[in-house]
Structure 1
Amino acid sequence: MYGTTDEYGVDVATDSVHIHDFHATILHLMGLDHTKLTYRHSGRDYWLTDVAGNVVKEVLT
């Protein structure tokens, strides 16, 4: 568990993480670099985390 929500569990109260960051962190834990995993679609290269995402180092400590 990372961060907190409001008393109703609806909104993020602290330590908000974007879904791209979450995916990058999971891939990092699996030993994969999300910036090197690309696939081509309609003539454009895509990352698995789209064109964003950073590993959340606070989760790893």
Structure 2
Amino acid sequence: LKQRGMLEDTVILWTTEFGRMPSTQGSKGRDHNPHVFTNWLAGGGVRGGVTHGESDEWGYKPADRKNPTQVYDIHATILHLLGIDHEKLVFRKDSIDRRLTDVHGKVIREILA
């Protein structure tokens, strides 16, 4: 993409819906951890070389438990990078207007170029 001059017009996202627990469960491996997981963004509008958020020393919970980054924030940030106002993007489900970012999503400005 960079060689073709398309990187600045492209948002690349690599993500998971959960992480793994830092401890093992014997022969059963490690269980899902919905509190700490990785998202990787690059391309247009994303500031390179930035790490946002951190876990506690064990990788079990967010270090900032009062204001953790939520999946809603990831959604709000991606929509922002695509030029869409997440607060105005509404879809109807079961006769109720809903937002992908619910009422909690905030654009993560610290990672924007």
TM over 0.5: yes
Aligned to 1:39: 91
Q: How many residue pairs are counted as aligned between the two chains?
A: 61
Aligned to 1:45, the other structure's residue is in SS state: strand
Task: Report the Cα offset of residue 49 of structure 1.
Answer: 1.1
Greater radius of gyration (CA): 2
* Structure 2 partner of 1:6: 56
Moved over 2 A (4+): none
Q: What are the ranges of 5 or more consecutive residues in structure 2 without an aligned counterpart? A: 1-50
In structure 2, how many angstroms separate the alpha carbons of the residues matched to 1:45 and 1:29?
A: 23
TM score, norm. by length of structure 1: 0.76
Which consecutive unaligned segments of at least 5 residues does structure 1 have? none
Please identify which structure carries the higher helix content: 1
Q: Using the alignment, how far apart are the partners of 2:72 and 2:97 within structure 1?
A: 16
Cα-Cα RMSD: 1.8
- Length-normalised TM-score, structure 2: 0.46
**Per-residue CA distance 1:3-61 (angstroms, 9 max, x = gap):** 22122211111462122112101111122111121111121101111233111212215
More RCO (CA 8 Å, sep 6+): 1
Question: Once the two structures are aligned, what percentage of the paired residues are identical?
Answer: 46
